[in-house]
Structure 1
Amino acid sequence: MTEVSFPQPDRRRPEPLWFQVEEAIRAIIKSGEWATGDQIPAEDRLCALFGVSRITLRHALRNLEETGLLRREHGRGTFVRSTTLVAGTRELTSFTQEMGNIGVVAGSRLLDCSLTKADAAAAAALEIEEGDPVVRIRRLRLGNNEPIGIQTAQLAGARVPGFLDSGLLQGSLYEALERRYGIVAMEARESYRVGTVPAADADLLGLAVGTPAFIVERVSIDERGPFEFTISVMRGDRYEIRSTLRAGRVPPNTRS
């Protein structure tokens, strides 16, 4: 691990100390000073380096762990983890935005873009007739140049006339759809299941055929209804699902 500078949080700033520490660690990781697999200093050492309490430091580390930048191994310490997209309760964002939120450079390689006919699954998701035209976009998704998953999106053809000739596949698809067609995603429904990597995707993902993977289906909706149906095959070692569960009812206080 290279020698790292630790900026001291400024108590005169309006941002909480834990937020300043979190941003400082995020910047260290993004700069490459702490590389994937590196073990970061122990909590007491970090407290001394940043000049903050253990409570403040733990708040920052917990946030970084939840967003997938760090992993904590009981009995060993905390490590910089490989590029990982963590799915859970979050805002409706594009892949590009999600990766940016965890300090990872999003990348994409276009594998196919064509006009085809909706099969039964796409027709049901997009609320169109089977056989209606859809624009099929198949992309390899990258984070810091490492493969994370393969996404196959289908757009209702009637909503995106001229898409194949528009050159809209550079950067965020959602931003392009808003700019060209006024489509703004308001809601998305996602379902997750465990599957395996098919032969067509194995080499691109750097995995053996049949390796466990997450299969994610997403239907994106704007004010006019569904416009996008996406099926993603995500690497299980670089994609996580986390949820926070809460009691539905708080037991009454039975003390007299």
Structure 2
Amino acid sequence: MNLTIDHQSTIPLHIQVENLLRELIKQPEYQAGKLLPNEMELSRILAISRTTLRQAINKLVYEELLVRKKRLGTKVAHQKMSSKSMNWLSFTQEMEARGVTIKNYELHVSWVFPDEQVANFFDIKPDKKVMKLERLRGNPQEPFVYFVSYFHPRIGLTSDDDFKRPLYEMLEQEHYVVATLSKEEISARTADRFIANKLEIEVDSPILFRKRFVFDQAERPIEYNLGYYKAESFVYTVESKRTP
């Protein structure tokens, strides 16, 4: 893209630069995370003062289109993914409904002895193994959520099941288990070393933690799910209606 502005135009320089930056950050390489040219270089290329350049950049930072990283530079802000509590869907279905392409970065299946919380939720003995599913997911540019799911043994899941499919669709079509009710607990916390490594963030960075309890049509527990979301990439929206 040609980085030029018209110094003879009646349009103020900072407005021209702002419009130029809006077009620049639409380019695939910047959407993918490439840093913008540094302020000194941009000022030289456009033949403007750094004050004028900063005025334009500050406007886009205020609009949350750009983000500044100390000692790194300026880059396109991550588009925040949104999840709503109404019309509950699987994560894959939620993202597909918003036109977001999902990439599985990691997928691990194992059989483990449940801890006390999982055993109590399923009402089983702690010496009975349950299936554990771990998935690191995100968009094509980066991972933004790490899921850990435990499933009740009666479902009959095996490592041969296709967990790349939408989870609740697979449960219904392959195991005749219909996920009907979800109860959730949402909290804010900081990332420990393990989660920080998964989400490619700094230790102690803020994350959104969601605990989900899933039940079938008979209100029997089927899934105990933990979700760790990169805070800068995700917004959780709650819709409520007041009964007259």
Please report the TM-score for the alignment, with normalisation by the length of structure 1. 0.62
1:100 to 92, 96, 100: 96
Q: 1:50 corresponds to which residue?
A: none
Runs of 4+ aligned structure 1 residues displaced above 4 Å come to 34-37, 73-81, 244-249
In 2, are the aligned partners of 1:221 and 1:227 still within 8 Å (CA)? yes
Q: Residues of 1 paired with 2:77 and 2:121: CA distance? A: 35
Q: What runs of 5+ residues in structure 1 fail to find an aligned partner? A: 2-31, 38-72, 250-256
Q: 2:224 corresponds to which residue?
A: 229
Deviation, structure 1 residue 218: 0.3
Q: Does 1:206 align with 2:204?
A: no
Q: Residues of 1 paired with 2:164 and 2:196: CA distance? A: 24
Q: Does 1:240 align with 2:235?
A: yes
Q: Does 1:216 align with 2:210?
A: yes
For residue 90 of structure 1, give the secondary structure of its aligned residue in structure 2: coil
Q: What runs of 5+ residues in structure 2 fail to find an aligned partner? A: 2-27, 34-58, 66-75
In 1, are the aligned partners of 2:172 and 2:178 still within 8 Å (CA)? yes
Structure with larger Rg: 2
Q: Residues of 1 paired with 2:61 and 2:31: CA distance? A: 21
What is the correspondence of 1:74-89 to structure 2 with a 5 Å cutoff?
79=65, 82-89=78-85
Which stretch of the first structure deviates more once superposed, 123-132 or 230-239?
A: 123-132
For residue 237 of structure 1, give the secondary structure of its aligned residue in structure 2: helix
> Number of paired residues?
185
What is the correspondence of 1:8-19 to structure 2 with a 5 Å cutoff?
none
Q: 2:19 corresponds to which residue?
A: none
Q: 1:132 corresponds to which residue?
A: 128
Q: 2:188 corresponds to which residue?
A: 194
Q: 1:60 corresponds to which residue?
A: none
Q: Once the two structures are superposed, what CA deviation does each residue of 1:19-78 show, in whole Å capped at 9, x if it has no partner? A: xxxxxxxxxxxxx7x9589xxxxxxxxxxxxxxxxxxxxxxxxxxxxxxxxxxx899668
Q: Does 1:122 align with 2:118?
A: yes
RMSD, aligned CA:
3.2
In 2, are the aligned partners of 1:36 and 1:82 still within 8 Å (CA)? no
In 2, are the aligned partners of 1:148 and 1:234 still within 8 Å (CA)? yes
Q: 1:41 corresponds to which residue?
A: none
Q: Residues of 2 paired with 1:78 and 1:208: CA distance? A: 21
Q: Percent identity at matched positions?
A: 22
Q: 2:56 corresponds to which residue?
A: none
Q: 2:177 corresponds to which residue?
A: 183
Q: 1:151 corresponds to which residue?
A: 147
Which stretch of the first structure deviates more once superposed, 240-249 or 182-191?
A: 240-249
Please report the TM-score for the alignment, with normalisation by the length of structure 2. 0.65
